[in-house]
Structure 1
Amino acid sequence: MKTMSKMMAASAAIALIAGAASAKELKYAHFQSADLSSPKHAAALAFESCVEGKTSGGIDVQIFPASQLGGDSEIIEGLQLGTVQMAAIHDGPISAVYKPFSVLAIPYLFEDHAMAWSVMDGDFGDAMAEDMLAKTGIRMFGVADNGVRNFTNNVRPVAEPKDMEGLKMRVMTAPVWVALVESLGASATPVSWPELPGALQQGVVDGQENGVTNIVNASLYQHQKYVSLDSHVFSWHAYLMSDMFYQSLTANEQLAVEQCVETAKVIHRGMTAAQDANASAILSEKGMEVVPVSPEQKTMFREAAQPAVRAHVVEDIGAEWPDRLDAAIDAYRAN
């Protein structure tokens, strides 16, 4: 009996080793810190557990947080080459590779989270995912919140567009974000995400624009005194996968990935939206001076920025995607 038990244990060990050896490695990159207060990381951990459970370990998810695999351009290149299998990446870098994504940088489009989610989860988001796949070889499963973007700076309170004049503002690395800031009278300096805290600390720029999650997660509040709650853009993190890797999966593995992204997306959205809803309390507690923006002042921002940014987007990518987005928003309002 002992000999039989040993043989069975040995067989089980061999099976485990064989299973581990045949597991498909999925490198998953994101840019937030590796703790459960970070929506990206909490969602990534949920994805890991979900996929490995549904595939019985057939896919080995390895999470690389905090830019461990490189900056945004390196990660996107890795997705196209297949050296990185999956990533959650923010809008600016995506727009630099897939220009139509820049349509989402047109400011003051969405009235609330429900509207933004409905548009991106509907026909508009599906069409964009199909087009991105065809043009880049990167598969977009969906989007979660990167936070409603607000302006911060270390010079003065900003309550109206005139208060932006002369400020040096960091923007994401895509031209559309330059157009947004310059339409309000500030100067724009593109800076990649990993370099942003240093740029603020060293005074390379006076300010930046981001959601509450990123302001807190990267400790940007340490170098910024004022935050203006103008909510100019609903920013996104896209769940992206190398199509080469996706096509290497079995049908059941593909289904598991798609289902588990949905789980991750719900967690990610919920955490980020909760932080947005409590922006004033969270940032005040961090020592920032919160500048409320009234509906009348927000209208002033919209009238200054929206036409200029839309014109830039249309010039860059044509009118098709801006028109599609307008139609999707109109359809939501009509329901």
Structure 2
Amino acid sequence: MNTLKTLLASAAAAAMLSAAGAAGAKELRYAHFQAADLSSPKHAAALAFEGCVEAKTSGAIDVQIYPASQLGNGAEILEGLQLGSVQMGVVHDGPISATYKPFSVLALPYLFDDQAMAWSIVDGPFGEALFEDMRAQTGIRVFALADNGVRNFTNSKRAIASPDDMEGLKMRVMTAPVWVRLVESLGASATPVAWPELPGALQQGVVDGQENGVTNILNASLYQHQSHVTLDGHVFSWHAYMMNDAFFESLEPAEQTAIEQCVVIAKTIHRGMTAAQDANATTLLAEKGLTVTPLSPEQKAAFRALAQPAVREFIVGEIGEEWPDRLDAAVDAYRAQ
């Protein structure tokens, strides 16, 4: 926490530095959806990015952070990034897959063994190729991915220890069809609900449950209207650090370098905070009153046997074989090391 306080102080100092020359500064509107406090990985990372960029550019870039969906939901932020009305956004994977379909390849369930494996693959040649294709197709530059948490199922009805326990449950999913296929392959019904509307949907009983990482469950108080969580870790979910490509290209080379370097710092903070919460999921969620159901490797295999082929078939139907095959090759290469 002392480190985060230092980052906050640095951000404030950088803001004061930039104020003197604000008239000539390049405004960088930075949007994310988590709460504006240091317990939120997205916001802690955003403050670090702000302080870093404004210090490295001597205030030539003025970073303005808009947390808590102030500039809209994920789809609206992506539209803003394409139009240039938002210069930078950190958006979760569901809306990205709706804007750039190949991103849905990362929704293949029960694929990565742990964070080290997942990070290595998205930071390596596979991730670089995917991001460049997205930039070329959408005009949105992806710098990096940070953890949106290992996704687990919560619900208000019963413990889930096998796919049979999913039968009859109404589960909220993100607003992209691949997530519908995932949940339906396990026997539950799927209802797409945008992130800002999710707490209300749980409170009003529109859905029985949802699937998210520990960070989001805690940050949005999703546990308040849920009684069970199953630690199945079906998908390593992501937040993408993105920028309007035309804005980035308009910057001076030294400013571009500052942006890239400061994203590395933000990504590292974001990943570390989220991974720590995932590692302590049982304690953190039990403290919030949830009954926690861990799964053995054999139990998880039963979920994988149903979900992975169904989701892969759907993804291939949407985007073809190229990106699933590339991801499979990256996984195989990692395991062969």
Find the partner of 2:187 among 180, 185, 188. Answer: 185
Task: Tell me, yes or no, if the aligned pair for 2:143 and 2:263 is still in contact at 8 Å.
Answer: yes
> In the aligned structure 2, how far is the partner of 1:225 from the partner of 1:245?
45
Distance verdict in 2 for CA 1:323–1:21, change over 3 Å: same
1:227 aligns with 2:211: no
- What displacement does 1:17 show? 7.3
Give the 3-state SS of the residue equivalent to 1:305 in structure 2. Answer: helix
Distance verdict in 2 for CA 1:93–1:17, change over 3 Å: closer
Task: Tell me, yes or no, if the aligned pair for 2:183 and 2:189 is still in contact at 8 Å.
Answer: yes
Q: What is the identity percentage for the equivalent residue pairs of Structure 1 and Structure 2?
A: 75
Find the partner of 2:57 among 55, 58, 76. Answer: 55
Task: Tell me, yes or no, if the aligned pair for 2:18 and 2:54 is still in contact at 8 Å.
Answer: no
- What displacement does 1:19 show? 2.4
The two structures have a TM-score, normalised by structure 1, of 0.95
Give the 3-state SS of the residue equivalent to 1:307 in structure 2. Answer: helix
Give the 3-state SS of the residue equivalent to 1:229 in structure 2. Answer: strand
Alignment of 1:186-335 (within 5 A): 186-335=188-337
1:164 aligned partner: 166
Q: Which amino acid aligns with 2:152?
A: N
Q: Which amino acid aligns with 2:158?
A: R
Find the partner of 1:155 among 154, 157, 171. Answer: 157
Structure 1 unaligned blocks of 5 or more: 1-14
- What displacement does 1:244 show? 1.6
2:43 aligned partner: 41
The two structures have a TM-score, normalised by structure 2, of 0.94
1:93 aligned partner: 95
Q: What does the per-residue CA deviation read over 1:253-275, in whole Å, with 9 as the maximum and x for residues that have no partner?
A: 00000000000000000000000
- What displacement does 1:73 show? 1.1
Alignment of 1:118-129 (within 5 A): 118-129=120-131
> In the aligned structure 1, how far is the partner of 2:127 from the partner of 2:159?
36
Give the 3-state SS of the residue equivalent to 1:41 in structure 2. Answer: helix
- What displacement does 1:136 show? 0.3
Q: What does the per-residue CA deviation read over 1:29-65, in whole Å, with 9 as the maximum and x for residues that have no partner?
A: 0010000000000000000000000000000000000
RMSD between aligned residues: 1.1
Q: Which amino acid aligns with 1:88?
A: V
Distance verdict in 2 for CA 1:152–1:16, change over 3 Å: closer
Q: What does the per-residue CA deviation read over 1:214-260, in whole Å, with 9 as the maximum and x for residues that have no partner?
A: 00000000011000000000000000000121111111100000000
Give the 3-state SS of the residue equivalent to 1:166 in structure 2. Answer: coil
Give the 3-state SS of the residue equivalent to 1:33 in structure 2. Answer: coil
Give the 3-state SS of the residue equivalent to 2:273 in structure 1. Answer: helix
- What displacement does 1:83 show? 0.2
Give the 3-state SS of the residue equivalent to 1:238 in structure 2. Answer: strand
> In the aligned structure 2, how far is the partner of 1:72 from the partner of 1:279?
26
> In the aligned structure 2, how far is the partner of 1:200 from the partner of 1:140?
32
Give the 3-state SS of the residue equivalent to 2:233 in structure 1. Answer: strand
> In the aligned structure 2, how far is the partner of 1:69 from the partner of 1:244?
20
Q: Which amino acid aligns with 2:229?
A: V
Alignment of 1:68-107 (within 5 A): 68-107=70-109
> In the aligned structure 2, how far is the partner of 1:68 from the partner of 1:278?
30
Give the 3-state SS of the residue equivalent to 2:112 in structure 1. Answer: coil
- What displacement does 1:121 show? 0.4
- What displacement does 1:292 show? 1.3
Distance verdict in 2 for CA 1:256–1:17, change over 3 Å: closer
> In the aligned structure 2, how far is the partner of 1:32 from the partner of 1:281?
22
Give the 3-state SS of the residue equivalent to 2:236 in structure 1. Answer: strand
Distance verdict in 2 for CA 1:208–1:85, change over 3 Å: same
Find the partner of 1:21 among 10, 20, 23. Answer: 23
> In the aligned structure 2, how far is the partner of 1:73 from the partner of 1:319?
26
Distance verdict in 2 for CA 1:85–1:165, change over 3 Å: same
Task: Tell me, yes or no, if the aligned pair for 2:145 and 2:240 is still in contact at 8 Å.
Answer: yes
> In the aligned structure 2, how far is the partner of 1:56 from the partner of 1:318?
46
1:138 aligned partner: 140
> In the aligned structure 2, how far is the partner of 1:206 from the partner of 1:216?
18
> In the aligned structure 2, how far is the partner of 1:47 from the partner of 1:17?
17
- What displacement does 1:18 show? 7.2
- What displacement does 1:294 show? 1.1
Distance verdict in 2 for CA 1:182–1:100, change over 3 Å: same
2:8 aligned partner: none
- What displacement does 1:16 show? 7.9
Q: Which amino acid aligns with 1:255?
A: T
